Structure 1
Amino acid sequence: MTTTPGTVTTTPIYTPEMVYHAEQPLLATQGLGLMKQAAFALATECARILKHQRPAGPSGARIVVLTGPGNNGGDGLYAAAELARRGAHITIITNTTPHPQALAALQHHHHPHITDDPTTIDTPHLVIDALLGIGARGGLKSPWDTWATHANTWRRHGAHLVAVDMPSGLDPTNGYPNPQHAHITADTTVTFGGLKPAHILAASACGTTKTHGLGIDTQLTHHNPTPYAHLVTGGHWPTPTEHSHKYSDGVTTIHAGSTTYPGAAILAVAGAIRATSPMVRYHGDCAEEVIRAYPSVVHGTGPTNSNVIGPGHQTTPQQLTKLLTDPTPLIIDADALTTLANNPTCQHHLHQRHTNGHFTVLTPHDGEYTRLTNHKPHPNRIQAATELANHYHCTVLLKGKTTTITDGTKTYLVHAPTSWAATPGSGDVLSGIIGALVAANPTTQSVALAAHAHAQATATTTHPIDAHQLANQLPHAITTIISNHKTTA
């Protein structure tokens, strides 16, 4: 397989509506058979977890199943039937009539204890959250909110909590819980067909997500050639060949830093230098500090393949306009975003860049997003980033634990394995990485790959680090990305 440097490998993400429509042909032909397949996959995951917890695995394990009235409850009960067949003791918490066929299957192996009062139950080994599926919205109300509170308490006391499709109480599209109501926090989420946005946007509430296709994945691919979003899992990092030289794979120019913030210039340059082997130029007020830190940097203007402006840089409208009216790919970050937000002339030139086919990237955090739009980001961060990208007709990277990158049509999510990158100057490093990759290949995928490397730089970190240490972790992260790409190519 041949891919262009700067492209990413991804896992598709689908909306609940996409999954619902993909399921219908299978439900029409398989009926309860599809539910039983899902339940067996769920039971297998639960048995694996129990085997890790205790030598006897499911045999003798105490399992609580929270069930609602829909198919999600049926999945949980059929799974409980399989676990009961393997010797587990089942308690069902419900205030509705359980799925009749699934309950009959469970009662064939075991007569479960059925109650609507969780206060009578000691901490179990495992809890299955089968209250609500991916079609639910609005949070958990009484008595389910009380059940969720008890389930979360059992989890804190050692029970492993497994959610069916989605932790109940989370919005499956934007991942937000309703702040007025409780929600489940899972250790493991077992989902079917494909990933949904909340599995990434609310990963801390979903725990480890296990996906089982069940044929739904094939239907999804067939009916949705363009998924809702793409989770970045790797990519093709630009690497030199025997014919490469310092100019051949893209020169980056960093316009950053000031007498007040010289560190921002050093960190942005560090990101660019650590990301690729070609030349990095620096243009700003901190040349002495930058060159002392990185003697290979060239000070001043000259031929370049990308411009980065903003980190620690007190950007004037005139400085930003000069780069906006230059056809060179442009990354606008930090203070330059504030200048853009406050200057209609700069905004006009940004719109003109799209008309002229020039590539531009905006990299706001939430506060900068608010300045650019005069409102806070929508709870659905995919929607928020898409709205900004479509307004300015450019690529937007909306920063966060899960970073959203979009050109308004195609969206990529980069989920950081840790939050240790949430430190001052981390964004400056990221802007330099983006500049380097955009210099090699000015596409939205290059921006997504840069964000992926930045996230992976903290993958093995278990303690606080500063932004300079983060930059120094980049070579290891990039080595891993290159190695994984060679393995899968």
Structure 2
Amino acid sequence: MFAPTFTADQIRRAEQPLLAAQEADDELMQSAAHAVAEAARAMLDDAALPDDAARVLVLAGPGGNGGDGLYAGAELLLAGRRTDAFLPAGKAHERALRAFEAAGGAVLDALPEPAAGQGYALVIDALTGIGGSGALRGGLRTAAEWANASRAAVLAVDVPSGVDADTGAAGEVHVEADTTVTFGGWRRAHALSPACGAQLLADVGLPARRLHETLGDELAEWAADGPPLLLANRAVTPERTWPEDLYPMRQAPVLDIAPGPDDDKYSGGVVGIRAGSDGYPGAAVLSVAGAVNATPAMVRYAGPQAAEVVRAHPEVVATQTLEDAGRVQAWVFGPGAGTDKGAADELRWVLEQDVPVLVDADGLTLLTTHPDLRELVRGRAQATVLTPHDGEFARLREAAGVGESDRMGETIALAGALGCTVVRKGRATVIAHEDDPHTAYAVDAGNSWAATPGSGDVLSGIMGAHLALMEAKSLGEEAALAGAVAVHAVAAKLAAATPYGDAAAPAGRIAAFIRPATALVSHA
């Protein structure tokens, strides 16, 4: 269900025997170029432009990535698509360039002014691919800036230029792609960088089966001295239909929430929620809304906003204090709960319970400022899940003494340092567990409509309900966490939809779409 991703070095090593076995020059490159051309044709067909308006510009770098783009351009030309090329480094892969020119392609002496660039319907970014390192400079930087300034759709070859293939980190200047097509296996950046847009995988000469066999023979993957494995999924997949040999990234697995014939309101995973305060009453309502709509099981609320919670959700059992809440299979603590001594005492009580605990928002602030609470987290036998956004993560990282590195590496390190599971929220959410420092999970939301106040409170409720279901049914934690992230992302996308296009998706509206999002993801 989870798709493995690979480092650039692993991809290069897996390609070597295939390159050595080629029967003709550039055989593998031309197979990759065919996939690029197929993706380009699909994007042009979607634009529904007349042939004379559907112009393509290939931005070709000097290496193999540029060769992929030029061979793809030659194929588009032979299919009747007007295609130009620009070589920002002043040179290109020689055989690919000859094929492009022989097909009738024109090489521009200079990029047109951005306004004139509107004449291109599609730009193919073939500047650097996985071979790029460091910041884009000179003509490559200018070409990337031009691609972003044009109104054309952008198709990136392998990885958008200026984006690190292994970490997903984007340089100050990088290409923002609408779609990225890659070959044989996913790169880490496809899960970690929103700049990739929609991701497509082509089995061209390097099918996933052969990639796994080669890596299994040559690399210490999953071993203590090997690179960590990143398993990836996407929440909202592209709506367009792609050619049958181009595959979008898989949707994240989601727990089956349907009750069985012997289930009742208690057996499906009762979640307890401590959220909200007099200053932030909405946090309680939103977190509870996430849980109520996530699974059929009971939701218990404990806190000062009990009356408001029951007014909004009469099915919730609400009390003023944690001690009176009753039995649960998981606790959620933090959204709007406060950071004073009373809140710290409440978090201490929650962490002492023998059930999974999710800590968010103010709870994370308390962990940052209270070393004794961090020690409680480290010593827990049950699952502890921390859900920081990047700002909260940075503070936790400093408090735990974890050094700064790339987004995936930091998340793995913090999970190990705190002895817990870390769900680092964002457009690309990274999940790491304390007991597996060599594996992480990533879910690309596929949209950013969840970047709105209160959205994280809703997610805490969804995730808490899924953790309770996991505990009650002895299900897998990865599906509980990644699935909750996916449901939340799909709910945000559904909440943003209007008959006229997408618009704002307030947190309360996101909560209202959790049920259809769950059904959509579960039955996709």
Instruction: Please confirm whether the aligned pair reaches a TM-score higher than 0.5, indicating the same fold.
Output: yes
**Deviation, structure 1 residue 456:** 1.0
The TM-score, its normalising length taken from structure 2, stands at 0.82
Decide whether aligned partners of structure 1 residues 167 and 282 sit closer, same or farther in structure 2, where only a CA change above 3 A counts: same
The aligned counterpart of 2:306 is 287
Decide whether aligned partners of structure 1 residues 398 and 84 sit closer, same or farther in structure 2, where only a CA change above 3 A counts: same
The aligned counterpart of 2:203 is 213
Does the CA contact (< 8 Å) of 1:130 and 1:164 recur in 2? yes
**Deviation, structure 1 residue 81:** 2.0
Partner SS state of residue 136, structure 2? coil
The aligned counterpart of 1:351 is 378
CA distance in 2 between counterparts of 1:190 and 1:257 reads 44
The aligned counterpart of 1:84 is 77
The aligned counterpart of 2:6 is 14
Decide whether aligned partners of structure 1 residues 292 and 22 sit closer, same or farther in structure 2, where only a CA change above 3 A counts: same
Q: Which moved more, 1:294-303 or 1:394-403?
A: 294-303
Alignment of 1:116-155 (within 5 A): 116-119=109-112, 123-153=119-149, 155=150
CA distance in 2 between counterparts of 1:477 and 1:201 reads 23
Confirm whether residue 393 of structure 1 aligns to residue 419 of structure 2. yes
CA distance in 1 between counterparts of 2:66 and 2:385 reads 45
**Deviation, structure 1 residue 329:** 0.9
The aligned counterpart of 2:474 is none
CA distance in 2 between counterparts of 1:249 and 1:20 reads 47
**Residues 184-240 of structure 1 deviation map (CA, whole Å, 9 limit, x = unaligned):** 23333221123323333332x333322202242223333267642321513232220
Counterpart AA for 1:471: A
CA distance in 2 between counterparts of 1:12 and 1:137 reads 23
Does the CA contact (< 8 Å) of 1:12 and 1:229 recur in 2? yes
**Deviation, structure 1 residue 128:** 2.2
The aligned counterpart of 1:236 is 255
**Deviation, structure 1 residue 483:** 2.0
Q: Percent identity?
A: 40
Decide whether aligned partners of structure 1 residues 152 and 341 sit closer, same or farther in structure 2, where only a CA change above 3 A counts: closer
Does the CA contact (< 8 Å) of 1:43 and 1:83 recur in 2? yes
Equivalenced residues, count: 465
Decide whether aligned partners of structure 1 residues 321 and 99 sit closer, same or farther in structure 2, where only a CA change above 3 A counts: same
**Residues 102-154 of structure 1 deviation map (CA, whole Å, 9 limit, x = unaligned):** 233334433x433442248864343322211212111221122222233333x
The TM-score, its normalising length taken from structure 1, stands at 0.88
The aligned counterpart of 2:41 is 47
**Deviation, structure 1 residue 482:** 2.5
Partner SS state of residue 186, structure 2? coil
CA distance in 1 between counterparts of 2:461 and 2:93 reads 55
**Residues 57-99 of structure 1 deviation map (CA, whole Å, 9 limit, x = unaligned):** 5x89643322222111111121122222223444332234422
Does the CA contact (< 8 Å) of 2:255 and 2:466 recur in 1? no
**Deviation, structure 1 residue 388:** 1.3
Alignment of 1:359-398 (within 5 A): 359-374=383-398, 380-398=406-424
CA distance in 2 between counterparts of 1:434 and 1:456 reads 14
Alignment of 1:403-482 (within 5 A): 403-408=429-434, 409=436, 410-442=439-471, 443-460=477-494, 461=496, 462-482=502-522
**Residues 223-263 of structure 1 deviation map (CA, whole Å, 9 limit, x = unaligned):** 26764232151323222011101111211111122222222
Q: Which moved more, 1:19-28 or 1:117-126?
A: 117-126
Counterpart AA for 1:348: E
Confirm whether residue 37 of structure 1 aligns to residue 31 of structure 2. yes
The aligned counterpart of 1:163 is 156
**Deviation, structure 1 residue 266:** 1.6
Q: Which moved more, 1:221-230 or 1:258-267?
A: 221-230
**Deviation, structure 1 residue 398:** 1.0
**Deviation, structure 1 residue 363:** 0.8
**Deviation, structure 1 residue 445:** 2.9
Aligned-residue Cα RMSD (Å) equals 2.5
Aligned with 1:198 (options 166, 178, 189): 189
Q: Which moved more, 1:376-385 or 1:286-295?
A: 376-385
Does the CA contact (< 8 Å) of 2:5 and 2:232 recur in 1? yes
Q: Which moved more, 1:327-336 or 1:314-323?
A: 314-323
Partner SS state of residue 118, structure 1? coil
CA distance in 2 between counterparts of 1:258 and 1:50 reads 52
**Deviation, structure 1 residue 307:** 1.0
Does the CA contact (< 8 Å) of 1:23 and 1:219 recur in 2? no
**Deviation, structure 1 residue 339:** 1.1
Does the CA contact (< 8 Å) of 2:177 and 2:196 recur in 1? yes
**Deviation, structure 1 residue 434:** 1.2
CA distance in 2 between counterparts of 1:160 and 1:318 reads 53
Residue segments in structure 2 that go unaligned for 5+ positions in a row: 223-228, 235-250, 319-323, 472-476, 497-501
**Deviation, structure 1 residue 379:** 6.8
The aligned counterpart of 1:487 is none
**Residues 162-193 of structure 1 deviation map (CA, whole Å, 9 limit, x = unaligned):** 221122122223333322xx332333322112
CA distance in 2 between counterparts of 1:288 and 1:61 reads 60
Decide whether aligned partners of structure 1 residues 151 and 322 sit closer, same or farther in structure 2, where only a CA change above 3 A counts: closer
The aligned counterpart of 2:60 is 67
CA distance in 1 between counterparts of 2:504 and 2:92 reads 48
Does the CA contact (< 8 Å) of 2:268 and 2:297 recur in 1? yes
CA distance in 2 between counterparts of 1:363 and 1:386 reads 13
Does the CA contact (< 8 Å) of 1:236 and 1:481 recur in 2? no
Does the CA contact (< 8 Å) of 2:230 and 2:441 recur in 1? no
The aligned counterpart of 1:102 is 96
**Residues 14-37 of structure 1 deviation map (CA, whole Å, 9 limit, x = unaligned):** 222222222222112126211111
**Deviation, structure 1 residue 56:** 5.9
**Residues 270-324 of structure 1 deviation map (CA, whole Å, 9 limit, x = unaligned):** 1111111111111112222222222222233222111111111125332222222
**Residues 381-434 of structure 1 deviation map (CA, whole Å, 9 limit, x = unaligned):** 222221211111211111112222221533222222432222222111111111
